[in-house]
Amino acid sequence: MSALLQAEGLSKSFGGVEAVRGVSFELDAGRILAMIGPNGAGKSTCFNMLNGQITPDAGRVRLGGIDITGLGPAAVWRLGVGRTFQITATFASMKVRENVQVALLSFRRRAFSFRGFAGAACRGEADRLLALTGLADQADRPCGELAYGDLKRLELAVALANNPRLLLMDEPTAGMAARERAALMRLAAAVAREKNVAVLFTEHDMDVVFEHADAVMVLDRGERIAFGTPQEVRRDPRVRAVYLGEGFLYDARHREEKPA
Amino acid sequence: MDIILAQASFVFIQALGGLASAASLFLVASGLSIIFGVTRITNFAHGAFYMLGAYVAFTLTDRFGGAFGFWGSLLLAALIVAALGALMEMALLRRIYHVPELFQLLATFGVTLMVQDLVVMAWGPDDLMGPRAPGFRGAVEILGHRVPSYDFLLMALGPAVLGLLWLLFHRTRWGVLVRAATQDRDMVAALGVNQKWLFTSVFALGIFLAALGGALQIPRTTVTHGMDLSILVEAFVVVVIGGLGSVTGAFLAAVLVSELNAFGILLLPKISLVLVFLVMAVVLVLRPWGLLGKPFTAARQAAGISVRPWQPFSPAERALAAGAILAASALPFLVGDYGLTVGSEICIFVLFAASLHFIMTVGGLDSFGHAAYFGLGAYGAAFLTVLAGLPMEAALIAGPLLALAGAALFGWFSVRLSGVYFAMLTLAFAQITWSIAFQWVEVTGGDNGMLGVWPADWAAGARGFYWLSLGVAVAGVAALRALVFSPFGYALRAARDSALRAEAIGLDRARLQWLAFIVAGTFAGLAGALQAFLKGSVFPDFLGIPVSVDGLVMVLLGGVETVSGAVAGAVVYKALAIWLMSRTDLSRLVLGSAIVAIVLLFPRGIVGFVEDARDRYLPALLRGRGRSSGRETAP
């Protein structure tokens, strides 16, 4: 059986900058893969190529064996890919519940329906998703006044609205307090395992990464430099070099020579 | 051979004339472009300042003779008007930079109206003939044609000003700041640049260029009080073709537009009026950011994004609306025929404004050419009654289909753009429709319009027609309101709130907006069909820019962040306009002042203001606890 998500030799450059160079990986259903790397490593570009927001210059993306390279985000979503954004993107003029209801209406192909009151549509399902993400008591609040951490949860609830096979989470916990981060990722991981959803997420918090990821992929300057279990990656000398520096340029000796 | 030579020389002379006209147009357009680039203000008053420049220059040149007096007067006039512009920026615009973008357009529109009356008060209603320029009185003979020597001066002036502006923007610190702010003004503000003075100085420079453009016209043409709107539309076209914020683009486009004007009348007289707009439409479809423009980063939130979520009426509000409708239907027992005719027209414009409101607030698309669909509906109804002999009922139903078809065609192109470019493309399409109605005399009667569009017998009286208009308006507004809360309305609003998120949940933004455009156009067409029967005739004016602007003003007055603010905006604006027109000779001055006052007092529109007050005070009154409305108050 082939993997749910297969990326082969993905490449993308912007002007002269090669943001992503020949990145390949596979992800099975029900598995959680963390994509880590320093700022500018190409993580977000990779994400945007996977859900169709950016068309890769080269390479293929397959979902469940079907080639989805070059499809737009809307089409990719229809095939069962949910996504959260690094900077939250929600509908500010709606209530929290209505944000989820719109996603549900779109999933049921009712976005072009002129009849009925959307605020009453799919209410039970929306409330179930909100309860799942811990937003049940906020359902009637205006989305625009939510705290940032709650917006991140709302993004997750919206991303789950199409019963995704694959969940892409770009820095799902950025901007949240430490305890909230752990809770949100635990929630996402529990959902993923329960419903056999594959999860790909980027994250800067290593505690979150090593607690939940089944596998870790490390990018640096657009290239995949390591892939393996969290333990393997932790021991990888190239990963250590990228994250801690190789000590070629500066070390403790320089402190003495040039006072700041 | 001789004929070809004569023709070649004629073409050459026409081209020279076009180049000379380009100079003033370039000055005005570059000012508009610079102001928009930095402050994101669509300065509707730009034409008014151009006109003021011409009038002030006329007075000054009249007083100070001689070569020095003449040229000094032109410069002084531009400086005086630039000071007035800076004053307007400081006194008016500075207070409303934080409100939705289009409100600044509304405020500058109010100023335009005021200036129109003020000019008539100060300089009288007659056209004025300025003096010839000293040293450039004669003409030069070229290839057997006489070309005014002043034209040569203008031809040289355009590139000279372009060069000076280039030096200003590339060689001075101030210019670098202006270019930086054009690209990302939030970043410039974050770097500690005093935005207030940067905005004011940019505004003053833009107005100076406009006023100089006006002043330079006085040796060529008469000074009239209609010159503000004609130049304004052309300047917008130039700015959009050249690319917003690009001075060089404005120069190229000014030459292009002037040459099109010079040759269009000769080569394609049938479509001369529409040629420029056709070119603009083609440019926008092929290069959505103009010839030399760059896509703007969205610096501010789109108009209409509010913290207060939209909700259907509560039972109390429903009762209130029902009461209002009941009261409106009792009007025939209170007022006479004239009052009812006014009432019918108000109903018609309520429906028109509500349809524009739908595309603007729910769709997030600011249409500057909504009159096109109003007029198409009116012409549709007129064709059916006058040419096909159908009764009113059939024409009211089938007439708007012409608007639907027009909206489907123009909307398909327009929704591919956004922001000001969308606005300008819709304006271009409206102007194209207008020129077809104006120039296709065999079918539309041209300027004479189509007469004899009479209603059915039961609606021929003022009462009957009023009830008809009221019924159609109520049904139309109710239908639009229901659409706002339908799944389609939510999906449309989702695409407006966050295009990124909407795509990521499978919503097709372009298709949603196209459909919304068609819906809005059809309802506008219904209003137009009613208007045709109210007036008994249809004229190209129905499609004109003033109708589109009226619609915009009504929507903005009502409040863009509301569900049905357009209803209140239309009633207030139309009633005020009609009442003022009958009461005073200075209706534009009063109306303009009223608009400016309303913008300053109710920057969220009338209904937005009422909702603010309700959310702030009502919960505290009813439940005894102060529920915060969750919005910041204006500083």
The DSSP string of B206-228 is: HHHHHHHHHHTTTTTS-B-TTHH
Neighbouring C-beta atoms of residue B158, cutoff 10 Å: 23
Q: Is the pLDDT of residue B510 over 60?
A: yes
Q: Which of B305, B491, B504 sits opposite A73 (nearest CB)?
A: B504
Is B415 part of any domain? yes
| Cα gap B135→B469, rounded to integer Å | 62
CATH number, domain A1-80+164-260, options 3.40.50.300, 3.20.20.150, 1.10.150.20, 3.40.50.360: 3.40.50.300
Tell me phi and psi for residue A229, to 5 degrees. -70, 160
Domain boundaries, chain A: 1-80+164-260, 89-163
B507 and B424 housed in the same domain: yes
Share of chain B above pLDDT 90, in %: 45
Per-residue model confidence as pLDDT tens digits over B322-349: 999 999 999 999 999 999 999 999 999 9
For residue B364, what is the DSSP state? Answer: -
pLDDT at A239: 85
Query: Chain A 153-172, CB below 8 Å of chain B: which residues?
Result: 158-159, 161-162
B352 and B459 housed in the same domain: yes
pLDDT at B629: 42
B259 and B348 housed in the same domain: no
User: Predicted confidence band at B236 (pLDDT cuts at 50, 70, 90)?
Assistant: confident
- More confident: B370 or B39: B370
User: Which residue in chain A has the smallest CA separation from B631?
Assistant: A145
Nearest chain B Cα distance for residue A38, angstroms: 25
Contacts of A68 (CB under 8 A, 6+ apart): A52, A61, A62, A75, A76, A79
Q: Are B507 and A53 a contacting pair at CB < 8 A?
A: no
| Cα gap A109→B363, rounded to integer Å | 19
Last-in-domain residue among B220, B237, B268: B268
Q: Are A93 and B310 a contacting pair at CB < 8 A?
A: yes
CATH of the domain at B353: 1.10.3470
Collect all residues of chain B within an 8 Å Cβ-Cβ radius of residue A145. Answer: 307, 630
Query: Chain A 84-103, CB below 8 Å of chain B: which residues?
Result: 85, 89-95, 98, 101-103
Nearest chain B Cα distance for residue A233, angstroms: 32
| Cα gap B596→B610, rounded to integer Å | 19
Do B309 and A143 touch, CB atoms closer than 8 A?
yes
Do A120 and A104 touch, CB atoms closer than 8 A?
no
* Residues making up chain B, counted from first to last: 635
The DSSP string of B9-48 is: HHHHHHHHHHHHHHHHHHHHHHHHHHHHHHH----TTHHH
Q: Are B505 and A110 a contacting pair at CB < 8 A?
A: no
Collect all residues of chain A within an 8 Å Cβ-Cβ radius of residue B306. Answer: 92-93, 144
Is B204 part of any domain? yes
Contacts of B337 (CB under 8 A, 6+ apart): B462
| Cα gap B426→B409, rounded to integer Å | 11
pLDDT at A256: 60
Mutate to test the interface with A, among B308, B490, B511 (most CBs of A within 10 A): B490
Give the strand pairing for A5-14 and A17-27. Answer: antiparallel
Per-residue model confidence as pLDDT tens digits over B418-450: 877 888 889 889 988 998 898 888 888 888 899
Of B108, B479, B48, B434, residue with least CA distance to B271: B434
Mutate to test the interface with A, among B311, B498, B505, B615 (most CBs of A within 10 A): B505
Per-residue model confidence as pLDDT tens digits over A213-242: 999 999 988 899 999 998 898 888 888 888
- Provide the 3-class DSSP secondary structure of residue A162: coil
Q: Is the pLDDT of residue B302 over 70?
A: no
User: Which residue in chain A has the smallest CA separation from B501?
Assistant: A89
Query: Is residue A198 within a helix (H) or strand (E), and if so which, with residue range?
Result: strand A198-202
B82 and B173 housed in the same domain: yes
Nearest chain A Cα distance for residue B445, angstroms: 39
| Cα gap B96→B600, rounded to integer Å | 7
User: Which residue in chain A has the smallest CA separation from B510?
Assistant: A74
Strand partners of residue A168: A83, A200
Dig out the tokens for B176 from the structure.
């670098």
Please indicate if any CB of chain B lies within 8 Å of the CB of A74: yes
Is B287 part of any domain? no
Neighbouring C-beta atoms of residue B63, cutoff 10 Å: 9
Nearest chain A Cα distance for residue B305, angstroms: 6
Per-residue model confidence as pLDDT tens digits over B363-403: 989 898 999 999 999 999 999 999 999 999 999 999 999 99
Per-residue model confidence as pLDDT tens digits over B613-629: 887 787 777 665 444 44
Nearest chain B Cα distance for residue A181, angstroms: 22
| Cα gap B300→A116, rounded to integer Å | 33
Please indicate if any CB of chain B lies within 8 Å of the CB of A118: yes
Of A115, A140, A135, residue with least CA distance to B311: A140
Per-residue model confidence as pLDDT tens digits over B573-615: 999 888 888 888 888 898 889 888 888 888 778 888 888 788 7
Per-residue model confidence as pLDDT tens digits over B265-300: 777 776 776 788 888 888 888 888 888 887 765 544
Do B347 and B470 touch, CB atoms closer than 8 A?
yes
| Cα gap B244→A75, rounded to integer Å | 34
- Provide the 3-class DSSP secondary structure of residue A25: strand
Q: Is the pLDDT of residue A113 over 80?
A: yes
Do B278 and B432 touch, CB atoms closer than 8 A?
yes
Collect all residues of chain B within an 8 Å Cβ-Cβ radius of residue A77. Answer: 503-506
Q: Which domain holds residue B381?
A: 338-620
| Cα gap B606→B559, rounded to integer Å | 6
Q: Which of A74, A119, A145 sits opposite B307 (nearest CB)?
A: A145
pLDDT at A249: 58
B133 and B240 housed in the same domain: yes
As for how many domains chain B has, the answer is 2
User: Which residue in chain B has the smallest CA separation from A100?
Assistant: B505
Per-residue model confidence as pLDDT tens digits over A37-58: 888 888 989 999 998 999 999 9
Dig out the tokens for A43 from the structure.
């993580």
- The structure tokens 């429906």 sit at B351
* Residues making up chain A, counted from first to last: 260
Q: Is the pLDDT of residue B162 over 90?
A: yes
Do B211 and B82 touch, CB atoms closer than 8 A?
yes
Per-residue model confidence as pLDDT tens digits over B201-215: 999 999 999 999 999
- Which residues of chain B have a Cβ shorter than 8 Å from any chain A Cβ? 304-312, 483, 485-491, 493-494, 496-498, 500-501, 503-508, 511-512, 515, 630
Q: Is the pLDDT of residue B111 over 80?
A: yes
Let me know if A194 is exposed, middle or buried by CB neighbors in 10 A (0-12, 13-18, 19+).
exposed
User: Which residue in chain A has the smallest CA separation from B507?
Assistant: A74
Q: Are A51 and B309 a contacting pair at CB < 8 A?
A: no
> How far does Cα B3 stand from its chain's mean position?
45
B86 and B215 housed in the same domain: yes
Of B117, B18, B44, B23, residue with least CA distance to B556: B44
Angle at A16 between CA A12 and CA A17, to 5 degrees: 55
Q: Which of B309, B490, B505 sits opposite A77 (nearest CB)?
A: B505
Neighbouring C-beta atoms of residue A196, cutoff 10 Å: 12
User: Predicted confidence band at A255 (pLDDT cuts at 50, 70, 90)?
Assistant: low
Last-in-domain residue among B268, B298, B324: B268
Collect all residues of chain B within an 8 Å Cβ-Cβ radius of residue A78. Answer: 506
Collect all residues of chain B within an 8 Å Cβ-Cβ radius of residue A142. Answer: 307-309, 630
User: Which residue in chain B has the smallest CA separation from A122?
Assistant: B487
Q: Which of A89, A94, A112 sits opposite B309 (nearest CB)?
A: A94
Dig out the tokens for B550 from the structure.
């009226």
Collect all residues of chain B within an 8 Å Cβ-Cβ radius of residue A110. Answer: 487
Contacts of A63 (CB under 8 A, 6+ apart): A4, A5, A76, A79, A80, A81, A165, A166
| Cα gap B435→B499, rounded to integer Å | 35
Collect all residues of chain B within an 8 Å Cβ-Cβ radius of residue A68. Answer: none
Q: Are A118 and B489 a contacting pair at CB < 8 A?
A: yes
- Provide the 3-class DSSP secondary structure of residue A66: strand
Angstrom distances, CA of residue B462 to CA of B90, B528, B610: 48, 18, 33
Contacts of A215 (CB under 8 A, 6+ apart): A31, A32, A33, A34, A227, A228, A229, A230
Do B26 and B239 touch, CB atoms closer than 8 A?
no
Tell me phi and psi for residue A17, to 5 degrees. -90, 120
Dig out the tokens for B111 from the structure.
């100023």
Collect all residues of chain A within an 8 Å Cβ-Cβ radius of residue B307. Answer: 92, 142, 144-145
User: Which residue in chain B has the smallest CA separation from A163?
Assistant: B505
Collect all residues of chain A within an 8 Å Cβ-Cβ radius of residue B489. Answer: 118
Is B331 part of any domain? no
Collect all residues of chain B within an 8 Å Cβ-Cβ radius of residue A117. Answer: 312, 485-486
The side-by-side arrangement of strands in the sheet containing A166-170 is: A81-84, A166-170, A198-202, A32-36, A215-220, A223-228
| Cα gap A257→B472, rounded to integer Å | 85
Do A171 and A140 touch, CB atoms closer than 8 A?
no
Neighbouring C-beta atoms of residue B491, cutoff 10 Å: 29
Q: Which of B304, B494, B508 sits opposite A74 (nearest CB)?
A: B508
B475 and B396 housed in the same domain: yes
Last-in-domain residue among B224, B250, B268: B268
Is B390 part of any domain? yes
Per-residue model confidence as pLDDT tens digits over A162-211: 999 999 998 888 878 888 888 888 888 888 888 889 999 998 888 888 88
Collect all residues of chain A within an 8 Å Cβ-Cβ radius of residue B490. Answer: 94, 98, 101-102, 105, 118-119
B500 and B581 housed in the same domain: yes
Contacts of B124 (CB under 8 A, 6+ apart): none
- Provide the 3-class DSSP secondary structure of residue B633: coil
Query: Is residue B77 within a helix (H) or strand (E), and if so which, with residue range?
Result: helix B66-91
Nearest chain B Cα distance for residue A85, angstroms: 8
**CA-CA-CA-CA torsion sign (A68, A69, A73, A74):** negative
